[in-house]
């Protein structure tokens, strides 16, 4: 059993593991595994990585001490196919450890479900790169914070009631992608100083979230960094303000009103008329048959795909075979590929009897 599962799901809360690989040298194949993600980094994810998130909740409908589990495997937009495959495999392994009780969710960067976002107060932060880029390492015993020296700029933007923070390139007023603009809020993390800067037209909510991100970055340094809030005057000779504008590489009057960086990364899939497919194991082959989308066609001896366009629910019947169960998520991915739906379709695996726990499943019919 994976040693990093020790204690998983034993108490209410959120637990996160990152998919990581290692190799002895350039000539040996990579060995993939998982590693616990620091609690101080919860809510932020590298675009080049994949993660497993376990949410453990008390079952309020039961008088017992029973827990309810949700497993999310989150796929960064630049994550490798290998990492995605390991995330899916490890999700099954964790599911087995917890007695097949969890609901499984596949989440894709920029298109996360409401239930996933609610795990982090509907505010998450994307970082560039992957495991090799890492995150700021702090030596609590050192006089300085020991952080990186390259400045990192974060764009804070609210779209569709969701506030996201994403690392963007630091560029001047002639930037082709990224840089400051007056529509959004920004946070600059530079050595031992964290700055917040607010565009003239950014919303109060974006300002609040930028302040929150800035505070969290300072907190992650164990008090070695300081926060400079709402930088606005590039004529000010304060050393911190001068350092901010030197790092940004332009003056305030050169900053455009509108930015050209869209944090949404494309539209969410559209809801469509629900379709239902029954997967059955016949003579060592998985047969797929489309049937009318009604709850009466959810057959306990089989596995069903319930496709709403925005979400594919993988429904596992109580009497389904192990082969049908093991192939269910694979068939859901093939279904997405055949229809050229892209990676932004959410996939949720739900066991028979868990339907009321899964948002949108009953409404699909």
Note the pLDDT of residue 262.
66
Exposed/middle/buried for 275, CB within 10 Å: 0-12, 13-18, 19+?
Answer: middle
- Write the secondary structure of the chain as one string of H (helix), E (strand) and C (coil): CCHHHCCCCCCCEEEEEEEEEECCCCCCCCEEEEEECCHHHCCEEECCCEEEEEEEEECCCCCCCCEEEEEEEEECCCCCHHHHHHHHHHHHHHHHHCCCCCEEEEEECCCCCHHHHHCCCCEEEEECCCCCCCCCCCCCCCCCCCCCCCCEEEEEEEECCEEEEEEECCCCCCCCCCCCCCCCEEEEEECCEEEEEECCCCCHHHHHHHHHHHHHHHHCCCCCCEEECCCCCCCCCCHHHHHHHHHHCCCHHHCCCCCCCCCCCCCCCCCCCCEEEEEEEECCEEEEEEECCCHHHCCCCCEEEEECCCEEEEEECCCCCHHHHHHHHHHHHHHHHHCCCCCCCEEEEEECCCHHHCCCCHHHC
When mean pLDDT is compared across 92-96, 223-227, 262-266, 324-328, the lowest value belongs to: 262-266
pLDDT tens digits along 164-197? 788 888 875 455 445 888 889 999 988 789 999 9
Note the pLDDT of residue 276.
94
- Is the pLDDT score of 363 beyond 60? yes
**Four-CA torsion 342, 344, 347, 348, nearest 10 degrees:** -170
> Which fold, 1-120?
Severin (3.40.20)
Q: Which residues contact 290 (CB under 8 A, 6 or more apart)?
A: 275, 276, 277, 278
As a CATH number, domain 269-365 is: 3.40.20.10
When mean pLDDT is compared across 18-32, 51-65, 230-244, the lowest value belongs to: 18-32
Which is more confident, 238 or 17? 17
Token pair, residue 363, equals 């409404």
Note the pLDDT of residue 134.
41
Question: How far is it, in rounded angstroms, from Cα 266 to Cα 269?
Answer: 9
Average pLDDT, the chain: 81
pLDDT tens digits along 315-332? 999 999 888 887 788 888
Cβ density class 321-341: b for 16+ within 10 Å, e for less: eeebbebbbebbbebbeeeee
Of 305, 298, 294, nearest to 331 by C-alpha is 305
Domain ranges of the chain: 1-120, 136-254, 269-365
Note the pLDDT of residue 69.
93
Note the pLDDT of residue 265.
58
Percent of the chain with pLDDT over 70: 84
Note the pLDDT of residue 141.
38
pLDDT tier at 292, thresholds 50, 70, 90: very high
- The pTM is what? 0.76
What average pLDDT score do residues 340-362 get?
86
Q: Characterize the bridge pairing of strands 44-46 and 123-127.
A: parallel
What average pLDDT score do residues 336-343 get?
77
Contact of 323 with 331, CB cutoff 8 Å: no
Query: CA of 3: how far to CAs of 51, 72, 82, 236, in Å?
Result: 17, 19, 21, 54
Percent of the chain with pLDDT over 90: 22
Note the pLDDT of residue 70.
94
Question: How far is it, in rounded angstroms, from Cα 243 to Cα 251?
Answer: 12
> Which fold, 136-254?
Severin (3.40.20)
When mean pLDDT is compared across 64-68, 207-211, 264-268, 337-341, the lowest value belongs to: 264-268
Note the pLDDT of residue 268.
60
- Is the pLDDT score of 63 beyond 70? no
pLDDT tens digits along 80-116? 878 877 888 888 888 888 887 899 999 988 888 888 9
Strand order of the sheet with strand 275-282? Answer: 31-36, 13-22, 50-58, 67-75, 103-108, 346-351, 311-316, 303-307, 275-282, 285-291
Note the pLDDT of residue 93.
86
When mean pLDDT is compared across 54-58, 249-253, 266-270, the lowest value belongs to: 266-270
Which is more confident, 346 or 15? 15
Identical fold at 1-120 and 136-254?
yes
Note the pLDDT of residue 145.
42
Note the pLDDT of residue 30.
62
Note the pLDDT of residue 316.
93
């Amino acid at each position: 059993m994976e040693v990093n599962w020790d204690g998983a799901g034993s108490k209410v809360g959120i637990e996160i593991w990152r998919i990581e690989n290692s190799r002895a040298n350039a000539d040996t194949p990579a060995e993939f595994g998982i590693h616990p993600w620091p609690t101080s980094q919860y809510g932020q994810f590298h675009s080049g990585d994949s993660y497993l998130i376990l949410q453990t909740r008390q079952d309020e409908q039961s008088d017992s001490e029973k827990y309810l589990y949700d497993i999310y495997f989150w796929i960064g937009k630049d994550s490798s196919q290998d990492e995605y495959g390991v995330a899916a495999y490890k999700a099954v392994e964790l599911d087995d450890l917890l007695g097949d009780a969890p609901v499984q969710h596949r989440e894709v960067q920029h298109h996360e479900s409401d239930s996933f976002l609610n795990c982090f107060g509907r505010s998450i932060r994307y970082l560039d790169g992957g495991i090799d880029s890492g995150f700021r390492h702090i030596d609590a015993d050192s006089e300085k914070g020991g952080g990186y020296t390259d400045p990192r700029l974060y764009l804070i933007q609210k779209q569709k009631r969701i506030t996201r923070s994403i690392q963007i390139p630091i560029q001047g007023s002639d930037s082709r992608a990224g840089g400051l603009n007056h529509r959004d809020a920004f946070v600059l993390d530079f050595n031992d100083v964290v700055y917040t800067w607010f565009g003239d037209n950014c919303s109060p909510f974006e300002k609040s979230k930028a302040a929150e991100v800035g505070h969290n970055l300072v907190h992650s340094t164990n008090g070695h960094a300081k926060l400079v809030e709402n930088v606005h005057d590039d004529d000010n000779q304060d050393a911190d303000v001068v350092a901010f504008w030197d790092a940004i590489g332009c003056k305030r009057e050169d900053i455009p009103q509108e930015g050209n960086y869209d944090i949404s990364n494309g539209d969410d899939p559209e809801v469509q008329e629900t379709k239902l497919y029954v997967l059955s194991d016949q003579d060592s082959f998985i047969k797929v048959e489309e049937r009318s989308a009604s709850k009466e066609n959810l057959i306990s001896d089989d596995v069903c795909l319930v496709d709403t366009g925005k979400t594919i629910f993988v429904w596992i019947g109580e009497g389904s075979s192990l082969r049908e169960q093991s192939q269910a998520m694979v068939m859901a991915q093939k279904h997405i590929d055949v229809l050229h739906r892209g990676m932004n379709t959410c996939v949720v695996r739900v066991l028979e009897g868990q339907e009321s726990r899964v948002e949108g499943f009953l409404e699909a019919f």
